Structure 1
Amino acid sequence: MKKLWWAIGGVVAVLVLAVLVGPWAYGRFIAEDDAPAASVSTEGAQAASGSVDGQWTVVPGKAPNQTAAGYTVHEILNGASVTVVGSTGEVAGSATVEGEKLTAGEVSVQVAAITTDQSRRDAQFRGNVMDTDTHPTATFTVDEPVDLSGLPEDGSVGTVTAQGTLTLKGQSRPVTVDIEVLRSGDDLIASGSIPVTWTDFGVQPPSLGFVTVDGRGTVDFLISLARS
């Protein structure tokens, strides 16, 4: 009988230890931050050719400047503090540049295609969080002209500030974003991160016991454009 009680006690001790130590061990040895969202790279960049004026269309691009968009958010998962980055290459859009000013521009993202390294997280994101069946796309549109005349033409990166409208889950809000822009050969490449408070867009950050998501994050984009 004593051996039986010792055995039962050992099992209970192991279970208690797993409950108490499991989240700590996950955070210490397993959980890792995701790689940061993609941004403009000057690897292989060339001097700009021709004028920046014209009609531009979002294209897939080439590594390391492949078109992608998504989000960055901080969460507590199983007791571990991690930064999560979700992204997709299913991005469309266009831009108009006249007199070295960006006079019109729109980027559209297929929200259901955004993925991370966790399928369960992605399922929650598509369903309860973003309701992608009802709101399949997120968009950013430029509302005011953006001066591009100061952009470098030597294959280095310049920065401009854009005023626009971000639409998530059917809710539109004015936003300001600093955009890194690279003119390389006959290509135009741009990236930026838009700070957002999720509830401003009707998005409720999950809090499910095993995971809690911050109320703020960023909407990220890297877009390659070619002349239409």
Structure 2
Amino acid sequence: MEKRRKSVVITMIIAIVVLALFALGLVLYQLFTAPGIKTEEIDASKAKPATTDIDGVWEVVYGSAPNHSSVGFTFKESLPAEDKITSGSTTHVTGQATVKNKELVSARIVVDMTKVSTDVEKRDINVRNKIFKTEQYPEATFEVDKVTDLSMVGDDAQVAEVKIPGTLTIKGKSQKVDPTFKVVRDQDKILLSSTIRINRNDFGVESPEFVAAQIAEEGDVNVLLSMEKQ
């Protein structure tokens, strides 16, 4: 009888351990395989003709769905069992742009890196604390370098493509970039989006040793901005 009782107890302990390992496996699988939250391109399918002149001082606003202002990243990762793509983003974006005589004469966009989020909380903490070190570098910025012609951006709600050179700063390190933005004027707003190709090593963005996945050196900074005139 005693042996049978011990056998039942041992079986229950084994079952509990197996279930615990299974649950841990599901958590780890989600942590390293969930695709994250990506900043998408502008959706101009419902854009309407402009109702205000393009000249003036424009400010980043939250905007309306699906064109909420958002900035994030997308990188490929290699795991022992598969390759995947992971994204993170934040809607905590501020900034201004000044347009004179249909030329972009200045612009500065600021991203709150402490608010960057994927769809996994534990991964968010690692991304902020270990990869971007947001306590030391809480902001990333993009600042326009030279005057850019915007005459091709019409008032007819049609998407134009504009190359806007600037300086991208992440983790306190700055690099010149030359992204092409999709731009459309939608009533009283200007909507812009771009995918900026970067090498994370240029910005000191290193993969922590404890992360099982091998993160690609090259990836994208995804930008979507909704702006209103002040």
Residue in 1 that maps onto 2:143: 141
Deviation at 1:216, TM superposition (A): 1.1
User: In the TM superposition, what are the counterparts of 1:1-228 in structure 2 within 5 Å?
Assistant: 31=33, 33-34=35-36, 36-77=38-79, 79-206=81-208, 208=210, 210-228=212-230
TM-align CA RMSD: 2.6
Q: Residues 74 and 206 of structure 1: is their aligned pair in 2 closer, same or farther, counting only changes over 3 Å?
A: farther
My pick for the range that moved more, 60-69 or 38-47, is 38-47
The CA deviation string for residues 111-150 of structure 1, in whole angstroms up to 9 with x for no partner, is: 0101101222211111121110010000000001111101
CA contact (8 A) 2:56 2:229 kept: yes
Contact 1:206 1:212 in 2 (8 A): no
The TM-score with structure 2 as length reference comes to 0.83
- Provide the secondary structure at the position in 2 that maps to 1:121: helix
For 1:67, the aligned partner's letter is: S
After TM superposition, the score normalised by the length of structure 1 is: 0.83
Query: For 1:44, what is the secondary structure of its paired residue?
Result: coil
Letter matched to residue 188 of structure 1: I
Maintained 8 Å contact 2:90/2:115: yes
Identical-residue share of aligned pairs (%)? 33
Of residues 79-88 and 175-184 in structure 1, the stretch that sits farther from structure 2 once superposed is: 79-88
Distance in 2 (CA, whole Å) between partners of 1:187 and 1:117 is 29
Runs of 4+ in 1 over 6 A off after TM superposition: none
Q: Which runs of no fewer than 5 residues in structure 1 stay unpaired?
A: 1-10
Count of aligned pairs: 210
CA shift at 1:151, angstroms?
A: 1.1
Deviation, 1:77, is: 3.9
